[in-house]
């Protein structure tokens, strides 16, 4: 049987495994930071209507520039952040992973480098590898905040072309202060200048405001967002960015023509019409997240402060054994490979109760 390494694949892909959390069929799945609430029925009906309209024109290519959708996303950002954003500042793609890939195809690539502060979202490094961009793993403090002085020094020394800042950070849940972003942006401009990408996939769950207003007067800053989490539409595959209009022009140099299908655009527009209801679910998830933090601490479990729809908890001498013991109780959480720590996504109240029950019995055995 032919194996991957028998093929003439690029050297940097040899021996690697594809990214992906285990998709196990267990009763309570709290491992991929999904929104546990299915889309409400009136929205499902609206999607069907909009998709039917799109289907009548599927003989034609979709709107290549997704203008109506970008205008809708710009209005959503303006309404929720109070910072005026226009459609010329917004770009959309199939999930924010594709947005990040397009950014690295545009601003990274062979001979260029990107930095992230780890532990963080591991796809940043993997998309760097996939685009031939060298990766630098930057430092974090013990409490998982970014070590600003160390980060500034690393940027000054290694002069990366792209700086990733994930806020709230996956897998730790840590929000990043605006002052930290400003300090790193200044350092990155002095060193190169380079692009600074703030990944706000989970920002709707944060106790703090979005960093989006920092875009004003900073053409090398990008904020990336997704409909996979707060909008509860991970299956839709819709991510987007906000930045200076020049950044939107630049990513169009690498995007595939007609990359966003007419079905995707129609579905995303229907979701935007129901923003109010969907953000109501976000409020429920935020209070469930906060309940989980308190309950875990009451059980004597260590928890990193969370601004996301997930919580990092620990510390365990044998992380994998604890992960397995929780799984044996029918609850799937995530082992992100951060020594001592696991991650759980906030689910419905019943799912969270099942998780707390599992943890409470597992730690008694430790």
Tell me which residues touch ligand PMP (CB under 6 A): 33, 95-97, 121, 166, 170, 199, 201, 226, 228, 234, 239
Q: Write out the two tokens for 276.
A: 């109010």
User: Cβ 237 to ligand PMP, closest distance in Å?
Assistant: 7
Residue 317 CB, nearest distance to ligand PMP (Å)?
27
Residues contacting 327, CB < 8 A, separation 6+ = 24, 26, 333
Q: Residue 32 Cβ, how far from ligand PMP at the closest point, in Å?
A: 7
Nearer to ligand PMP (CB atom), residue 191 or residue 265 = 265
Query: Does residue 241 contact residue 103 with C-beta atoms inside 8 Å?
Result: yes
DSSP secondary-structure letter at 82? Answer: S
Q: Give min distance, CB of 170 to ligand PMP, in A.
A: 4
Q: How far is the CB of 228 from ligand PMP (least distance, A)?
A: 3
Which C-beta is closer to ligand PMP: that of 121 or that of 185?
A: 121
Of 106 and 174, the one with the shorter C-beta distance to ligand PMP is 174
Do the bridges between strand 239-243 and strand 90-93 make them parallel or antiparallel, or are there none, so unpaired?
Answer: antiparallel
Phi (first) and psi of residue 233, to 5 degrees: -125, 50
User: Minimum distance from CB of 2 to ligand PMP (Å)?
Assistant: 30
Nearest to ligand PMP of 232, 356 (CB atom): 232
Task: Classify residue 257 by burial, with Cβ atoms within 10 Å: 0-12, 13-18, 19+.
Answer: exposed
Whose CB is nearest to ligand PMP? 95
Is residue 113 reached through a cis peptide bond, with omega within 30 degrees of 0 on the bond before it? no
Q: Give the number of other Cβ atoms within 10 Å of residue 146's Cβ.
A: 25
Angle between helices 349-365 and 275-298 (to 10 degrees): 20
Indicate the helix (H) or strand (E) that contains 262.
helix 262-273
Q: What's the min distance (Å) between Cβ of 7 and ligand PMP?
A: 27
End-to-end CA distance of the chain: 44
Measured CA to CA in angstroms, residue 230 lies from 34, 97, 150, 200, 209 at distances of 9, 16, 32, 11, 15
Whichever of 345 and 352 has its CB closer to ligand PMP, that residue is 345
Task: Between 20 and 276, name the residue whose CB sits nearer to ligand PMP.
Answer: 20
Q: Which is nearer to ligand PMP, 107 or 121 (CB)?
A: 121
Name the one residue in this structure whose structure tokens are 């590898």: 129
């Amino acid at each position: 049987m032919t194996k991957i390494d028998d093929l003439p694949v690029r050297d940097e892909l040899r021996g690697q495994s594809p990214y992906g959390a285990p998709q196990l069929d267990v009763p309570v799945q709290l491992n991929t930071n999904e929104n546990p609430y299915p889309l409400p029925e009136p929205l499902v009906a609206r999607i069907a209507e909009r998709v039917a309209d799109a289907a009548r024109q599927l003989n034609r290519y979709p709107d290549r520039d997704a203008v109506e959708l970008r205008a809708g996303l710009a209005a959503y950002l303006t309404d929720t952040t109070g910072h005026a954003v226009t459609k010329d500042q917004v770009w959309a793609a199939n999930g924010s992973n594709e947005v990040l890939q397009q950014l690295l195809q545009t601003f990274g690539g062979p001979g260029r480098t990107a930095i992230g502060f780890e532990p963080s979202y591991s796809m940043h490094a993997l998309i760097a590898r996939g685009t031939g961009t060298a990766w630098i793993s930057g430092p974090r403090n013990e409490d998982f905040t970014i070590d600003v002085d160390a980060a500034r020094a690393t940027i000054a020394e290694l002069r990366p072309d792209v700086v990733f800042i994930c806020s709230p950070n996956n897998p730790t849940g840590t929000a990043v202060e605006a002052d930290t972003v400003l300090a790193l942006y200044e350092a990155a401009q002095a060193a190169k200048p380079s692009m600074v990408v703030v990944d706000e996939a989970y920002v709707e769950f944060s106790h703090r405001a979005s960093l989006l207003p920092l875009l004003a007067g900073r053409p090398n800053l990008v904020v990336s967002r997704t409909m996979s989490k707060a909008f509860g539409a991970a299956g839709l595959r819709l991510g987007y960015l906000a930045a200076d209009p020049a950044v939107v022009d630049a990513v169009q140099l690498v995007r595939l023509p007609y990359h966003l299908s007419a079905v995707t655009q129609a579905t995303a527009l229907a979701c935007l019409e129901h923003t109010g209801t969907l953000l109501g679910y976000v409020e429920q998830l935020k209070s469930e997240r906060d309940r989980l933090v308190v309950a875990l601490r009451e059980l004597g479990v260590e928890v990193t402060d969370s601004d996301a729809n997930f919580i990092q908890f620990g510390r365990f001498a044998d992380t994998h054994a604890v992960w397995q013991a929780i799984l044996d109780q029918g609850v799937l959480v995530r082992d992100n490979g951060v020594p001592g720590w696991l991650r759980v996504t906030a689910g419905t109240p019943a799912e969270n109760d099942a998780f707390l029950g599992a943890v409470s019995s597992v730690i008694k055995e430790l």
